Amino acid sequence: MNSMASISSIARRLEGKVSIITGGASGTGEAAARLFIKNGAKVVIADVQDNPGQSVVEEIGEKGDVLYIHCDVKVEKDVENAVDMAVSKYGKLDIMFSNA
């Protein structure tokens, strides 16, 4: 197998997937958001840290592939809003990465 082809397919293994990452504004969640984007996913960062969350979106966002929404996972309506945002923007939700 051509090593370039295998690297290319590995690098995009989340192509077409839509994810929400709670706690995605910093730490492990931020690292996951960066990795998911690198692997082709659309990402909604759901966090209570508004400024860091927006900064991550500005740093890694390309062509609307990543969004931020304020979300406190202890508040059911916030989680519902994050899911609604993902489905409204991208048409579906494939991955819920619970990191908060």
For residue 60, the number of C-alpha atoms closer than 13 Å in the C-beta half-sphere is: 28
Q: Residue 71: pLDDT above 80? A: yes
Q: Where do the structural domains in the chain lie, given as residue ranges?
A: 3-97
Instruction: Return the pLDDT at 64.
Output: 82
**pTM value?**
0.86
Once rounded to an integer, what is the mean pLDDT over residues 50-62?
A: 93
Q: What percent of the chain has pLDDT over 90?
A: 81
Once rounded to an integer, what is the mean pLDDT over residues 63-83?
A: 95
Mean pLDDT of the chain: 90
Q: Which CATH class is domain 3-97?
A: alpha beta
